[in-house]
Chains A and B, each alone.
Chain A
Amino acid sequence: MSIPEPSISYVTESAILLRFNEHDHPGTEMQPDPALQIRICQLALALRSHPDNARLLQEVVPGPGNLLLVMHRDAIAEQVLQQAESLWLDSDQPQAASSLIEIPVSYGGKHGADLPQLARHTGLDIDEIISRHSAPEYLVQCLGFMAGFAYLGGLHPSLAIPRKKTPAASIPAGAVAIGGHYTGIYPAATPGGWHIIGHTQVSLFDPQGNPPCLLKPGDRLRFVPVGVSS
C-alpha cells in the first residue's frame, strides 16, 4: 500500500490541516485505510510526546484520513511541518501494537431498542448481527462529538445503517450504537442519531479519572457479548 502525500491547508492562522486521502472515493461515506489511520494516530502521538511539542503545538487532533495541528501563537508553521514530516517518515517502521480493549456488551432488550430495526434494515437475524458486530477488532480512528466518544472503524459493511432523520432526545451513557459505517459507545447521556443495539457498564469518560478517557486514537477494541435480551 502506498500512502499519498497529504494536502496541506491552513484552517486558521494558527492551525494546519493535513489531509491524506483528498481524492478518495468521492460520493461515499468511505473509511480511511486502517494502515493509513494507524500511521496518522502514531504520528499524532509522536508529535504530542516530542520534547519540542510544548513550544510548538497546542493540539494534535486526528480525524479519519486527516490530522489537525494547532500551533502556539509564536510557533512557525514551516518548523511544525518539518517536524511532522520527519516523524511521519519515522512512523514507516512497524510500531509496537497498541492496546486491545475489550468492552462487554449486553445486546438487545430495553438497552438495545433499535436492534429489531437494524435486523429489518439489514435482513439479518439478531444473532447474526451480534456475531458480526462482536467479531472484528475495531480501530479507534479518532474521538469527537463529545468527551470520550470514539469513532470505531472496521464495522462489517452489512451492518451499516443511515443515521436517524430525527435524533433520539436522550441516549443513555454506555449505549453501543451504529451510525453510518461507524460504531461507537456513548460516554454520557445525550441526544443522538445513531441506532442503539446494546449497552455496556464500562466507563468511557471520567474527568477525575487517570486517564480520563478509556479510549485514545489508535487503540484497538473488541466487543464481547455478555448477554442477549430479546
Chain B
Amino acid sequence: MIEVLRASPLMTVQDTGRPGLRHLGVPLAGMMDTPALMSANLLLGNPTDAAGLEISYGPTWLKAHQDLRIVMMGADMRARLMTPDGKHSIRDYLAPGFIHDIPAGHRIHCHAAAEPGQRSCLAVAGGIDVPLIMGSRSTDLNNRFGGYQGRTLRAGDILPVAVSPRQGNTGNNAHGIRQAGASMTLRAVVGPDYQAFTDRSQSAFWHTEWQVTPLSNRMGLRLNGERLQAHQQIDRQSSGVMPGVIQIPPDGQPIILGNDGQTTGGYPQFGCVASADLWQLAYLAPGTVIHFMQVSISEAQALAAAQTLKLKQLELWLGWTKS
C-alpha cells in the first residue's frame, strides 16, 4: 500500500483511460501522458494499462507500506527517497525513467515541477489497485467516479498496490527509458469546419504564437492569440468530439480538448492535434507559448503508427535485456 502524506493539487489515479463509452457521455479520462505511463509499465513488467499516479505541480509526500518498485516519468520533480521519519534523504535523486526500489516504511518526496501546470507520472510494479469501474481505474473528476473514490487524492488516502504479475527487468536497474521532451510545436490536421474560417484566420493559426492561459486543465487547454474568425456565423449541430479537437468558440480563441473533455461539442471544429502529439498537452503549463504545424491525415497516421511501433520496440528490447 501507498499512503498519501501530502498530495499535489489535482493528484489522481489514472490508467490508459476509458475508451468506448463516449456515446453515453463518458469521457476518456486517463493519464494525460499515456505513452509515458505505458513505457514505465513496460519497464516494470506491468500490463501497459496498469494504473499509476498523475502528479501535477506541487510537492508530494508518499509513504510505502510495503516494498515498492517505482518508475517516475514526465516532468522531473526531483524525487528523493527519504527515511521513514522523513527527516533524512537516503537517495537524493530518483532519476526519471529508471526503476527505483522503495523499502517498506520509507517515504518518497517529490519537489514541485519546474513550471506550474506540468505533470509527472508515477508507475508502480503491480499497478495501483483501485476498483475497475466501467473498464478502467482512471479517475473521472467531472462525473466523480473511478480512481480513488472518484476524486483527487489528499493526505491520509491509502492506495492498494496489486501483486506484480512478473518481475520486470529484475535485478538490472541500469536500463532506463528516456522521457520525450515536449517540443512546444503541436502537429495538427484540419477539421470539418476549417474551410469556414477566413484565409487570414487559417494562416494566423499556423503562423502565429499561441499562449496557454491559466484557464486550462484536464478538460481542455484555452489558448490566447489572434482572434480566429469565420466567413459567417457557423450554425452547426453539436457532434461527438475527442481529445485533441481544436474548437473555436465565439471569442475566436481556440480550445484544445483534453482527456476529461466533454464527449460532444457545438463549437466549430477548426482542427485536431495529431494523436501522436497528444501526450504533449500534459506539459503545456499556463504561459507556455506554442505553435501549430500542419500535417496531412496520412502524415498524422504515419506518426501514430511510429508511436505505436516505438512502444512495441521498447517491449521487445526489454524482453531481450531480460533473457
Do A and B make up one complex? yes
Question: Which residues does A use to contact B, with CB under 8 Å?
Answer: 9-15, 17, 19, 21, 26-29, 32, 44, 48, 58-68, 70, 73-74, 142-149, 188, 205, 207-208, 212-213, 216-217
Q: Among the listed stretches B53-61, B143-151, B205-213, which one makes contact with chain A, having 4 or more residues with CB under 8 Å of it?
A: B143-151
> Contact: B235 with A13, CB < 8 Å?
no
Q: Which residues of B contact A9 (CB under 8 A)?
A: 191-192
Known: A9-B192, A21-B237, A62-B23. A207 touches B145 (CB 8 A): yes
Task: Answer whether A66 and B25 are a contact pair too, CB < 8 Å, given A13-B304, A59-B20, A145-B262.
Answer: no
Using CB atoms, name the residue of chain B closest to A54. Answer: B20
Q: Are B144 and A145 in contact (CB under 8 A)?
A: no
Task: Please name all residues of chain A whose beta carbon is closer than 8 Å to the beta carbon of B300 when the two chains form the complex.
Answer: 12-13
Whether A143 and B238, one on each chain, are in contact in the complex, defined by CB atoms closer than 8 angstroms, is no
Per-position binary interface string of chain B over residues 135-172, scored 1 when its CB falls under 8 Å from any chain A CB and 0 otherwise: 00000101111100010000000000000000000000
Cβ-based interface call for B89 (8 A) = no
A70 nearest CB across to chain B (Å)? 6
B39 within 8 A of A: no
Q: Does B185 contact A (CB under 8 A)?
A: no
From B305, which residue of chain A is reached at the shortest CB distance? A73
Are B192 and A17 touching (Cβ within 8 A)? yes
**B133: CB under 8 A from chain A?**
yes
Chain A residues with CB under 8 Å of B22's CB are 59, 61, 68, 70
Tell me the bound Cα distance from A145 to B142 in angstroms.
10
A147 and B26 contact, Cβ closer than 8 Å, known pairs A12-B274, A13-B300, A212-B134: yes
Give the top 3 A-B pairs by smallest Cβ distance, nearest first: A68-B240, A61-B240, A144-B264
Binds A, one of B41-49, B106-114, B241-249, B280-288: B241-249
Shortest Cβ gap from B101 to chain A (Å): 35
- Is B297 located at the chain interface by the 8 A CB criterion? yes
Report the nearest A residue to B144, measured CB to CB: A188
Closest approach, in angstroms, between the C-beta of B40 and any C-beta of chain A? 21
Number of interface residues of B (CB under 8 A): 46
Q: Given the complex, which residues of A lie within 8 Å of B274, measured CB to CB?
A: 12-13
**A144-B238 contact given A11-B192, A12-B274, CB 8 Å threshold:** yes
Q: A13-B275, A207-B133 are in contact. Are A145 and B25 (CB under 8 A)?
A: yes
Interface: B11 (CB within 8 A): no
Chain B residue nearest in CB terms to A13: B300
- Residue numbers in A under 8 Å from B26 (CB-CB): 147, 212
Fill in one digit per residue for B231-257: 1 if any A CB lies within 8 Å of its CB, else 0. Answer: 001010111111011000000000000
Assembly CA distance A19 to B140 (angstroms): 29
Question: When the two chains form the complex, which single residue of A11, A70, A217 contacts B269, counting CB atoms closer than 8 Å?
Answer: A11
Add 14 more A-B contacts to A13-B298, A143-B25, A144-B264 (CB < 8 A).
A10-B297, A12-B191, A12-B244, A12-B245, A13-B274, A13-B301, A21-B237, A68-B239, A144-B262, A146-B262, A147-B27, A188-B143, A208-B133, A212-B24
CB distance from B246 to the nearest CB of A (A): 10
Q: Find out whether the CB atom of B308 lies under 8 angstroms from the CB atom of A73.
A: yes
Chain B residues close to A by CB (< 8 Å)? 19-27, 133-134, 140, 142-146, 150, 189, 191-192, 233, 235, 237-242, 244-245, 262-264, 269, 272-275, 297-298, 300-301, 304-305, 308
Residue of A nearest to B246 (CB): A12
Q: Are B264 and A73 in contact (CB under 8 A)?
A: no
Which of A14, A64, A74 is B238 in contact with, Cβ under 8 Å? A64
Chain A to chain B contacts (Cβ below 8 Å), 17 pairs: A11-B191, A13-B189, A13-B301, A14-B301, A19-B192, A59-B242, A61-B264, A62-B23, A70-B22, A143-B23, A146-B25, A146-B143, A147-B24, A147-B26, A147-B145, A188-B144, A208-B133
Q: State which of A67, A73, A144 has its C-beta within 8 Å of the C-beta of B25.
A: A144
Quick check: A207 and B143 within 8 Å, CB to CB?
Answer: yes
| Cβ contact within 8 Å between B240 and A59 | yes
Q: Are A148 and B25 in contact (CB under 8 A)?
A: yes
Q: Within the assembled complex, what's the spacing in Å between the Cα atoms of A32 and B245?
A: 24
Q: Which residues of A contact B27 (CB under 8 A)?
A: 147
Chain A residue numbers with a CB within 8 Å of B263 are 61, 143-144
Contacts of B189 in A (CB 8 A): 10, 12-13
Query: Are the C-beta atoms of B304 and A73 separated by less than 8 Å?
Result: yes
Residue contact B24 to A11, C-beta cutoff 8 Å:
no
Report the separation of the CA atoms of residues A62 and B23 in the bound assembly, to the nearest whole angstrom. 7
Task: Check B237 against A63 for contact (C-beta < 8 Å).
Answer: yes
Which residues of the other chain, B, contact A14 by a CB distance below 8 angstroms?
Answer: 275, 301, 304
- Tell me which residues across on chain B come within 8 A of A216, comparing CB atoms: 23-24
Given contacts A73-B304, A207-B145, contact A64 B237 (CB under 8 A): yes
Contact B272 A12 (CB under 8 A): yes
Closest B residue to A32 by beta carbon equals B237
> Which residue of chain A has its CB nearest to the CB of B276?
A13
Kindly state the separation between the CA atoms of A142 and B238 in the bound complex, as whole angstroms: 10
Residues of A within 8 A of B298 (CB): 13
Question: What chain B residues lie within 8 Å of A212 (beta carbons)?
Answer: 24, 26, 134
